[in-house]
């Protein structure tokens, strides 16, 4: 069982006892003057909160920032996911990225495979349908078997920081995808800037200095993933373990997910093991905590399992249907490449021991990518 208490005074700590992602106690929140208690969300109240981030971005004083920071941390504590509204990224910008992404995936397979993903240390390039099999397993042979039995029915384009001196991005020729590179490099920076603000709110919510994470994420060691889920016959999704993207948690600190209107993302309720939809809400970004943020916070912040399933299909005959195409854009936020991820001082019981040994960002993420793709 997991429970934790957070007092408002800066000198107090999170009180935590836990089994990794195990069943959680019922929600109990009490506010007495300056004391605020966080416990886990009840089974029948498991829902992704919508948080108005303008209250943090436009706050006129520290108290206003802290209020939103508490909401953000509570969302990641209870569910591991939040919807962020009024986040500051214009909808026109998001629509432009979706358009350029669609234009890229409409290119010929020959031109896309010329940009193929090659190296987990780089994590850049085009990934064809069936190449990746996301899962919680870290065993390469087990993942290989899963990939052969139940591949993920999606294709993606992976983009990193474009100024990296060691690993380069694979860009299509300008005539094949006009404006693609310019749009994606600009959006990469836009997403990083929002990531910095959300991490500052998390720092405040964990009773750290607001700038605590700034020097640990400034290298922009991130990954922008464009995702295309082609239409597929329902027959191909009926097998055991089949999905458009299998159940998994993400690797880094945060994931910013931009969805189209089709839907399909589902989040697991850790109390029941059941999945429920993360229905697209116009104008919002779905943000979830990843494994490294969970490790950093000693599991105070939850890295929740999620998957992508097929939305309702259009019947093409009495026994068969066709699912619609789906697009999404994920910005995987990571700490600096060599950053050491060790238990934060405010997330440890006095006299207690961290749940995880220190690990660097590169060690953890490259290890997971090697097992996932190779």
Q: Does domain 47-373 have CATH number 2.60.120.330?
A: yes
Phi and psi, residue 10, nearest 5°: -60, -25
The domain locations on the chain are 47-373
| Cβ–Cβ < 8 Å for 252, 195 | no
Phi and psi, residue 334, nearest 5°: -130, 155
Q: Identify the residue with better confidence: 138 or 1.
A: 138
> What percentage of the chain carries pLDDT values higher than 70?
76
CA–CA dist 5, 149 (Å, integer): 44
CA–CA dist 96, 184 (Å, integer): 10
What is the DSSP pairing of strand 81-85 with strand 125-127?
A: unpaired
The pLDDT score that the predictor gives to residue 238 is 56
What is the DSSP pairing of strand 275-277 with strand 265-268?
A: antiparallel
The pLDDT score that the predictor gives to residue 20 is 34
Query: 323 pLDDT exceeds 80?
Result: no
Most confident of 24-28, 165-169, 312-316: 165-169
Query: 310 pLDDT exceeds 90?
Result: no
Cα atoms in the Cβ-side hemisphere of radius 13 Å centred on 234 = 14
| Cβ–Cβ < 8 Å for 74, 68 | no
Look at 46-60, 145-159, 163-177 and tell me which has the smallest mean pLDDT.
145-159
What is the DSSP pairing of strand 50-52 with strand 81-85?
A: parallel
Query: 220 pLDDT exceeds 50?
Result: yes
108 contacts: CB under 8 Å, gap ≥ 6: none
CA–CA dist 48, 296 (Å, integer): 22
What integer best gives the mean pLDDT of the chain? 82
The alpha carbon torsion through 59, 60, 65, 66 (nearest 10 deg) reads -160
The beta-strand segments (E) located in 133-290 are 155-159, 223-229, 232-233, 245-248, 254-259, 265-268, 275-277, 285-289
pLDDT band at 245 (very low <50, low <70, confident <90, very high): low
Q: Identify the residue with better confidence: 350 or 218.
A: 218
Q: Identify the residue with better confidence: 68 or 16.
A: 68
| Rounded average pLDDT over 240-254 | 75
Token pair of 58 as six digits: 């436009």
CA–CA dist 167, 146 (Å, integer): 29
């Amino acid at each position: 069982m997991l429970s934790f208490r957070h007092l408002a005074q800066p000198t107090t700590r999170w009180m935590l006892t836990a089994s990794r992602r195990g069943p959680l106690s019922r929600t109990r929140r009490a506010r007495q003057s300056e004391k605020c208690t966080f416990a886990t969300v009840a089974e029948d109240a498991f829902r992704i909160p919508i948080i108005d981030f303008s209250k943090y971005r436009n706050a006129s004083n520290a108290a206003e920032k802290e209020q939103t920071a508490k909401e953000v941390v509570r969302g990641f504590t209870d569910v591991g996911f939040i919807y962020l509204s009024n986040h500051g990224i214009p909808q026109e910008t998001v629509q432009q990225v979706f358009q350029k992404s669609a234009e890229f995936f409409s290119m010929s397979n020959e031109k896309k495979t010329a940009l193929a993903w090659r190296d987990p240390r780089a994590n850049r390039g085009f990934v064809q349908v069936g190449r990746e099999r996301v899962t919680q397993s870290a065993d390469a042979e087990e993942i290989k078997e899963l990939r052969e039995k139940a591949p993920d029915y999606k294709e993606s384009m992976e983009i990193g920081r474009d100024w990296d001196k060691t690993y380069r991005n694979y860009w299509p020729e300008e005539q094949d995808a006009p404006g693609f590179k310019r749009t994606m490099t600009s959006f990469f920076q836009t997403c990083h800037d929002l990531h910095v603000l959300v991490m500052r709110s998390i720092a405040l919510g964990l009773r750290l200095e607001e700038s605590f994470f700034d020097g640990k994420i400034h290298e922009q060691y991130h990954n922008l993933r464009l995702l295309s889920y082609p239409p597929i016959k329902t027959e191909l999704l009926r097998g055991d373990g089949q999905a458009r993207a299998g159940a998994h948690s993400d690797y880094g600190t945060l994931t910013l997910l931009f969805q189209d209107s089709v839907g399909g993302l589902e989040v697991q309720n850790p109390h029941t093991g059941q999945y429920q939809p993360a229905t697209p809400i116009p104008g919002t970004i779905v943000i979830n905590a990843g494994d490294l943020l969970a490790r950093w916070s000693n599991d105070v912040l939850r890295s929740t399992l999620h998957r992508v399933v097929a939305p309702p299909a259009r019947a093409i005959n009495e026994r068969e249907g066709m699912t619609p195409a789906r697009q999404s854009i994920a910005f995987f936020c990571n700490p600096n490449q060599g950053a050491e991820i060790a238990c934060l001082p405010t997330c440890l019981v006095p006299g207690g021991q961290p749940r995880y040994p220190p690990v660097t960002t590169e060690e953890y993420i490259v290890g997971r990518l090697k097992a996932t793709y190779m």
